[in-house]
């Protein structure tokens, strides 16, 4: 079998001086990362979790250590990522723009995007170091690292401010892998003190990775595969080496499952879950080769998959490829290792265990952030074996990836561009429908708003029944509203939904709309409240203020005040916005 060291010295490799071979590849990689990714630093926040985690998060406006402390002993955002929240707090200290004493300030998105770009650049260098260790050739490692750093599938993770948790977890995971490889090398060379030091550091970094995002719990499996299949350690010895990591991963996994219940996700029979998982793997394999079109939501839910023909076909691709790579392992190890490195990091989000995003789709681009290390290894090994031929192909591939990635980043310019792209790729996208419904309500176009809300309801999320019912209440169409609120009780997944946060509000409305004694009085009081329109328009105005759209915010504040003239919160917000606008005009 041809080993990694032989591949690194393949005949025909370019004769670079040692100092250039060490210096130029990381410099070239850093320059390429900057050329492709720096433009996103000027992008806005988007209404795709950014409002929850960052720009509308009161704990960051302004950031304080006291507020940060709660994220280290609880999970206010339903996901325990205290290290990521610590980084967000540090970035917010730079990004915070406090207008005056009359209310919270705003956050500049640029520092958050710069943090993501910097983290991605460091992660790319860590990936190249791993590939250099596994493939031996600096230029082959550069080729693989460029695939990892510049592939269009990475756009969602790098361009999305809220995905800093994926970037941070990916960076720390790659550093932990590199330290573990150094530990294995030191063990092989009988440098026992160094081996122990590397192992301790690798374990500490692994713990930090799980605190950045719990999906890092897959690292013990990655380390086991590298020790067993690549370093040729006996399977039992390789397993013993990751036992401490497994001990760390178990409580991290339990904590993640407790904090992120898959509420509202229809149950999938156990026998069908491998089909869902294999389909997801096949989807990512296809997108790896043909990364277009890309969007935040593909609508690839388990129900959609199992009701169509794809369930009978797509599983063949990963199965056939897996069997072929496994049969080759005796002669050449890198294909099965590369495939394992691609699949293992996806394990938490393949659908074996339901997760909340499956309400929309089982697959999402940011899930493959760490997984692209597998294809990167394949590129590095092929380049090391056939440097001239593969080098020319890499040059073409880099240009193509750079162009596609830059084109994809434009869809993350702001919320409007993002949601339009989501609608182009998946017209049933419920979040995009919500955004469009709010826009229709701001224009007073209920027919268009209702169309978007009805289509969003088809996604299976009970929240859209609640939103549509509240909108009907606001319009005084109380009988239709009651029908919308009642619909959730007749859903097949009612038991799971009833444990979620929305049913108390639904029940409150159903009691108010009950046709029994006193119905007339209760309905009159409810009709006068006009709760949904005013509340949602106020939220829309707050969001627009945080995004810097002062004129749009003023329009939403005024519309909200028309619907609820006596609400003191709306009155205060409108007055504050007027003062801020006047201050801005004077300073201009």
DSSP 244-305: HHHHHHHHHHHHHHHHS--TTPPP--GGGHHHHHHHHHHHHHHHHHS--S--S-----HHHH
Instruction: Give the span between the Cα atoms of 113 and 125, in whole angstroms.
Output: 19
Do 487 and 470 sit in the same domain of this protein? yes
Do 363 and 445 sit in the same domain of this protein? no
Q: 362, 385, 416: which is the final residue of a domain?
A: 416
- pTM, entire model: 0.81
* Contact by Cβ (8 Å): 79, 259: yes
Residue indicated by tokens 């759209």: 549
Q: Per-residue pLDDT averaged across 138-164, rounded?
A: 95
Q: 416, 439, 463: which is the final residue of a domain?
A: 416
Q: Per-residue pLDDT averaged across 367-373, rounded?
A: 97
Bridge partners, 60 (sequence order): 63
Do 405 and 425 sit in the same domain of this protein? no
Min mean pLDDT across 56-65, 168-177, 224-233, 435-444 is at 435-444
Q: pLDDT digits over 391-412, tens only?
A: 788 888 888 999 999 999 999 9
Q: Per-residue pLDDT averaged across 327-351, rounded?
A: 94
Residue indicated by tokens 């092989």: 188
Query: Measured on CA atoms in the order 376, 381, 382, 383, is the torsion positive or negative?
Result: positive
Min mean pLDDT across 57-61, 141-145, 155-159 is at 57-61
Q: Is the peptide bond before 293 cis (omega within 30 degrees of 0)?
A: yes
In the chain, how many domains are there? Answer: 2
Structural domain contains residue 104: no
Query: Measured on CA atoms in the order 250, 256, 257, 259, is the torsion positive or negative?
Result: positive
Structural domain contains residue 313: yes
Question: In terms of residue numbers, what domain contains 428?
Answer: 418-587
* Contact by Cβ (8 Å): 530, 504: no
Mean pLDDT value across the chain = 84
Q: Per-residue pLDDT averaged across 272-287, rounded?
A: 96
CA angle centred on 436, ends 434 and 438, rounded to 5°: 70
Q: What is the pLDDT of residue 494?
A: 54
Longest Cα–Cα distance in the chain? 91
pLDDT confidence band for 102 (50 / 70 / 90): very low
Instruction: Give the span between the Cα atoms of 433 and 459, in whole angstroms.
Output: 11
Helix axes 109-135, 164-188, angle to 10 degrees: 20
* Contact by Cβ (8 Å): 470, 532: yes
Q: 416, 449, 475: which is the final residue of a domain?
A: 416
Instruction: Give the span between the Cα atoms of 127 and 246, in whole angstroms.
Output: 23
Checking if the pLDDT of 447 tops 80, the result is yes
Structural domain contains residue 85: no
Checking if the pLDDT of 77 tops 70, the result is no
Structural domain contains residue 76: no
Do 225 and 319 sit in the same domain of this protein? yes
How far, in Å, are 23, 64, 89, 215, 445 from residue 109 at the CA level?
Answer: 33, 18, 13, 26, 32
Do 268 and 319 sit in the same domain of this protein? yes
Structural domain contains residue 546: yes
Q: Per-residue pLDDT averaged across 456-461, rounded?
A: 68
């Amino acid at each position: 079998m041809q080993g990694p060291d032989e591949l690194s010295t393949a005949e025909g490799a370019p004769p670079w001086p040692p100092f250039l071979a060490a210096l130029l590849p990381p410099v070239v990689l850093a320059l390429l990362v900057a050329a492709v990714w720096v433009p996103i630093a000027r992008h806005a926040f988007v209404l795709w979790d950014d409002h929850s985690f960052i720009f509308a998060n009161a704990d960051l406006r302004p950031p304080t250590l006291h507020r940060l402390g709660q994220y280290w002993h609880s999970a206010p955002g339903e996901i325990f990522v205290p290290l990521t929240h610590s980084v967000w707090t540090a970035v917010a200290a730079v990004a915070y723009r406090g207008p005056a004493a009359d209310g919270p300030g705003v956050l500049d998105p640029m520092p958050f995007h710069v943090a993501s770009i910097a983290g991605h650049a460091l992660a790319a260098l860590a990936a190249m170091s791993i590939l250099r260790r596994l493939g031996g050739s600096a230029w082959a490692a550069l080729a693989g690292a460029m695939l990892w750093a510049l592939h269009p599938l990475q756009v969602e993770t790098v361009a999305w401010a809220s995905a800093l948790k994926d970037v941070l977890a990916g960076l720390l995971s790659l550093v932990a892998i590199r330290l573990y490889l150094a530990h294995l090398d030191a063990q092989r060379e009988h440098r026992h003190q160094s081996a122990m030091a590397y192992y301790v550091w690798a374990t500490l970094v692994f713990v930090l990775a799980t605190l950045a995002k719990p999906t890092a719990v897959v690292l013990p499996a990655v380390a086991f595969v590298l020790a067993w299949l690549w370093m040729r350690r006996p399977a039992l010895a390789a397993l013993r080496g990751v036992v401490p990591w497994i001990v760390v991963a178990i409580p991290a996994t339990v904590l993640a499952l407790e904090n992120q219940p898959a509420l509202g996700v229809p149950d999938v029979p156990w026998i069908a879950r491998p089909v869902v998982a294999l389909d997801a793997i096949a989807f990512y394999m296809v997108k790896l080769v043909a990364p277009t079109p890309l969007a935040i939501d593909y609508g690839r839910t388990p129900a959609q998959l199992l009701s169509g023909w794809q369930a009978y076909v797509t599983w063949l691709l990963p199965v056939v490829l897996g069997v072929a790579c496994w049969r080759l392992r005796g002669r050449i190890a890198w294909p099965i290792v590369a495939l394992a490195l691609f699949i293992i990091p996806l394990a938490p989000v393949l659908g074996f265990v339901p997760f909340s995003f499956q309400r929309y789709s089982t697959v999402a681009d940011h899930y493959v952030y760490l997984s692209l290390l597998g294809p990167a290894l394949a590129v590095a090994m092929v380049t090391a074996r056939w440097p001239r031929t593969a080098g020319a192909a890499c040059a073409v591939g880099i240009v193509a990836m750079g162009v596609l990635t830059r084109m994809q980043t434009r869809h993350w310019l702001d919320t409007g561009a993002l949601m339009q792209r989501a609608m182009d790729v998946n017209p049933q996208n419920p979040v995009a429908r919500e955004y469009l419904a709010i826009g229709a309500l701001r224009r007073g176009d209920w027919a268009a708003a209702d169309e978007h809300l009805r289509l969003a309801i088809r996604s299976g999320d009970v929240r859209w029944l609640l939103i549509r019912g509240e909108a009907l209440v606001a319009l005084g169409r109380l009988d239709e509203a009651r029908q919308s609120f009642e619909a959730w009780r007749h859903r097949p997944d009612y038991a799971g939904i009833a444990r979620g946060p929305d049913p108390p509000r639904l029940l409150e409305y159903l009691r108010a709309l009950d046709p029994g004694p006193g119905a007339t009085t209760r309905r009159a009081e409810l009709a006068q409240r006009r709760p949904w329109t005013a509340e949602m328009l106020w939220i829309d105005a707050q969001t627009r203020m945080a995004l810097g759209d002062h004129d749009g915010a003023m329009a939403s504040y005024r519309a909200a005040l028309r619907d609820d003239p006596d609400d003191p919160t709306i009155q205060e917000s409108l007055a504050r916005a007027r003062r801020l606008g006047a201050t801005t005009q004077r300073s201009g």
